[in-house]
Structure 1
Amino acid sequence: MRGRSGRGRMRAVFRWRSLRRAAVCLLTLLWMFLEPLISAVQHGLRCLTPSAAQEKARLPHQQTIGNRSKRRSRKRKSHRGGRRKRRAQKSEDEHPEKPCLDSRQQEVAAFLQAFEDDYLLRGFLQMDRCCRAADKYLLAMTFVYLKRANLCNAEHMRLKIFAALYLAHTVEEEDDETKYEIFPWALGKNWRKLYPCFLKFRDLLWRRTGYRAIVSKRSCEKVMAFAPSHYIWRRGRPAHHSGARRAYAREQVQLPRGPGFSPLPCSLCGKKGRFVRVGLRSSSSSSNST
């Protein structure tokens, strides 16, 4: 019995030792596989989170870079300011200031000269005796549109003035029949065929102004101040023709009338129609300024 029990103990001890060896072998194998992964992870974490010594070493370098960039920007600004001042001084030395003549005054003078030279523009203003189609504020808006569109040169001035005046009517006025009178004066006898092109030219003018169609009263008065004694700035509309009033009794009269007709009598103003001899040119010649 004692021999058998001793043999059983020896076998149990041997089995325990073999199991422990197997476990140690398995753990070593696992460590061999996991060790490179753990080292790689630790290396990545070190790269992502630098140490305090590295941060302290980097801070002064970054501060020096920031200070250098600020100094460079200040130097550039100072150099630019100095260059601008020098250029301004050179321009003042080479081109002294003109006392009372500037570009806008010249443009206003060219705009007013068009009404003096073009007989159709004068006839249009003579036919508009009540100043409903072209009062002083609408004419000032006309110049502002041409100025914004950079179209103040003397070429085709008649067509540009009529297009800008039509745009001013579209923005400010509510009586459509009055602005339709512009068609025969601007386009001639064939205005019924040519008015779509005229409307396209009006839209092109509006686009060239940057779609800035609103003009303040102060801007109009500034334009009038360049030549306050000119006759077109005296065209003040009467108070009884202001507001959104529509005269439906004019349905018997065929509008627009155009050149060659006497102006309509006005019962409110007490003005009778008087024949104004203004010739009517063809559409090709009327589109160009005289």
Structure 2
Amino acid sequence: MLCELLTEARVQEINPEDHFPTLERFNAMTGRIKAAATQIEIADGRFLNDWIAVGLSELPALKSRIAAENADDWGASRPHGILLCNFHDIRDREIFFNNDQISPVPVLGRIAVFGEREAANRHPYLAICLIGKPDAKSSYPAVLRAYAHPCMNWAKWALTDSILERETIDAIQRCRFGLSNRDIQIRLTKPLFDMNVNMEGETQPACIPDFLIEVLSRPLSRTVVIETMGYTDTRYRNRKLRLKDYFTAIDLRRSDKLARLIHHDPSQFGSEDEAKREFYKSLRDDIISINNGTDQF
């Protein structure tokens, strides 16, 4: 549900201004999420837009609506809703916010965290929480369980899988600003669903690129796929490298050309500055070639 909401609301499209969060951009994003929620049915005849709190300030009203519902009217389900909120940390089954004046939100059940074995704190996070009565005897709803995933910032809830992915976004944005001086505009997206092109006779792994870049002036030109190489672990890197043919094949859905694959791989360079320069140069040169129609890679 979370992936569907964010994709339909275009939250996973990352724009130049998204690094500069404002209340206006936050409100525009939450409005698109609520519009996308009109298409998701959570019970017979009940759609998510009436049962979602987008941001902590909307949670009390959602709880009150759920508390007033007759369970018999929900058929096989129980009255429930969804909270989406941005937060800072998780400790002892509580969600903490980056503001000491906001009380932490207790979660009765499990809080699943994407990549929870990683030691590094990757705040901010986006949480999707199930809101409902703990049992038939309870009179008031609570947060029953939650899933948390790192995201960009408080006003841009695009999911990011790691700190290094955020650095990849920063590097792409720097290149994007440079390209804008040449009047070259791009679309940057972090997809959340499998993009495999059907290949007969083989079992295919899930193909979900880290990032996609499209050159807007040439809408049918090849896509640039960006993969963040986040670890030096051999098995991890080999798995990523085995996906190359699947990543480059995603453009075969619309043309006879293969997508371009670029790795953001700081560990292969002597310094962080060198890694940034090489990634910038590779990305800039490929996008300029695509824009000019001279791409031969």
Instruction: Please tell me the TM-score bracket, short chain as reference.
Output: under 0.3
Normalised by the length of structure 1, the TM-score is 0.23
Normalised by the length of structure 2, the TM-score is 0.22
Higher strand content, 1 or 2: 2
Higher helix content, 1 or 2: 1
